[in-house]
Amino acid sequence: MRFLEGLEALGVQRAVLTSGDGLVIESTGKGSPGADLLASELVTIWKTMRVISTNLGGEIRRFTFATEHKEVLAVLHGTYCVGALIEKGNSRQAVGKELVQIAGRLAAEL
């Protein structure tokens, strides 16, 4: 079962599906950062943000951050995180929508 295929057509540079321990389950794309690094960083951010989201009375479901030239979007479901690295100005909305759909497929298939 391949979850990340739809992201390739959207011009995503790198995408990962990772478990809560940072283990890469699936990845696509190439270049820097590598899949292992992106996965571990996403999980680190996720775990750090869990503390504040709990204090705000909820559970973190997604997050985004950006540099001058790149953006990272991540959607969380249960113990899984799916994240994508895109060039700034790329179709952020389409990528975000695809990430949400992948999270829905995770819920149905895993």
Phi-psi region of 98 (alpha: psi -120 to 50; beta: other; left: phi over 0): alpha
Tens of pLDDT, residues 63-94: 999 999 999 999 999 999 999 999 988 789 99
**Whole-number Cα distances in Å, 93 to 26, 50, 103:** 22, 24, 15
Q: What is the pTM of this model?
A: 0.91
- CA dist 56 and 8 (Å) reads 35
Give the 3-state secondary structure of residue 77.
Answer: strand
Query: Do 82 and 102 touch, CB atoms closer than 8 A?
Result: yes
Tens of pLDDT, residues 36-73: 999 999 999 999 998 899 999 999 999 999 999 999 99
The residues with which 28 forms a beta bridge, in sequence order, are 15
Closest to 81 in 3D by CA, of 27, 1, 18, 38: 18
